[in-house]
Amino acid sequence: MNFKKIFIILFVFNLNSGLVYSIEPDVFVQSTVNRASQILSENISKKEKIIKLRKIARETVDIKGIGLYSLGSKRKGLNDDQMREYSLCLVQVTGTRMCLIIQKYLTLRGN
């Protein structure tokens, strides 16, 4: 009886492992850079480019996770308003920083 339960559990977990989709890190990074490069080469204003690049940042970077990790044990001492303010600032800074990093990378690459 115990063996059957273990077998069923292992079988179910084995079925679910095939449903996880992921891509290789280098493909993910290159895809993100290509998207950013396309935006930077568009004939739109700098403000519009920043808005679009921030959207890429929100889609590709776990900004909230990075923020919580960065705060460490200090986050326990923050109230809800402080956490909201911190999150908003972090999203703005991360998006802007990502724009600068991508621009520098593309400049070094010759685009």
Q: Which domain holds residue 35?
A: 23-109
Answer positive or negative: Cα dihedral of 13, 24, 48, 101: positive
Please report whether residue 8 resides in a domain: no
Please report whether residue 46 resides in a domain: yes
The predicted pLDDT at position 43 comes to: 92
Please report whether residue 17 resides in a domain: no
What Rg, from alpha-carbon coordinates, does the chain have? Answer: 21
The predicted pLDDT at position 12 comes to: 59
Please report whether residue 82 resides in a domain: yes
Domain tally for the chain? 1
Reduce the DSSP state of residue 23 to 3 states and report it: coil
The yes-or-no verdict on residue 58 having pLDDT over 60 is: yes
What tokens were used for 99? 């724009």
- Of 34, 42, 31, 39, the C-alpha closest to 55 is 39
Please report whether residue 51 resides in a domain: yes
The predicted pLDDT at position 60 comes to: 84
The yes-or-no verdict on residue 1 having pLDDT over 60 is: no
The yes-or-no verdict on residue 95 having pLDDT over 70 is: no
Please report whether residue 87 resides in a domain: yes
The yes-or-no verdict on residue 47 having pLDDT over 60 is: yes
For the entire predicted model, the pTM comes to 0.54
